[in-house]
Amino acid sequence: YSEDLDRVKAVLTKIAEDDPLCLDEPLPQFFVTGFGASSVDIKFGVWTRTDNFAKFKTAFLMKLKKTLDQEGIEIPFPQRTVHIIEQSQKI
């Protein structure tokens, strides 16, 4: 919930624009799809040629993770807080 969505969109779009296997048309698409327990859920879609798909997918996801880490953009994961209450009486 703490990330600036406009900044996230800009970073993702730049990754797509810089990737030679990512098609220029149709343009990358960025959607906010909901509010999860630990995150604002987004969907980011890009296109590549079918014959490039296997090579593209792994390389693109690796570049995405590396760039998000470099930019300090956190990929959220489910978190729980547990409070332990000490009982002074027997139950």
> How do residues 3-34 score in pLDDT, each as one tens digit?
788 999 999 999 999 999 999 999 999 999 99
Please check whether residue 47 lies inside any domain of the structure.
Answer: yes
End-to-end Cα distance, the chain: 40
Q: What is the mean pLDDT of residues 33-46?
A: 88
pTM, 2 dp: 0.74
Q: Can you give the CATH number for the domain in which 58 is found?
A: 3.30.70.100
* pLDDT mean over 58-68: 93
How many distinct structural domains can be found in the chain?
Answer: 1
Report if residue 38 sits inside a domain: yes
- Note down the domain range covering 53: 5-70
Cβ atoms of 32 and 40 within 8 Å: the answer is yes
Query: Does some domain include residue 44?
Result: yes
CA 8 to chain centre: 8
79 belongs to a structural domain: no
Counts of helices then strands in the chain (DSSP H, E): 2, 2
Q: How many whole angstroms from its chain centre is CA 32?
A: 11
Q: Is residue 89 part of a domain?
A: no
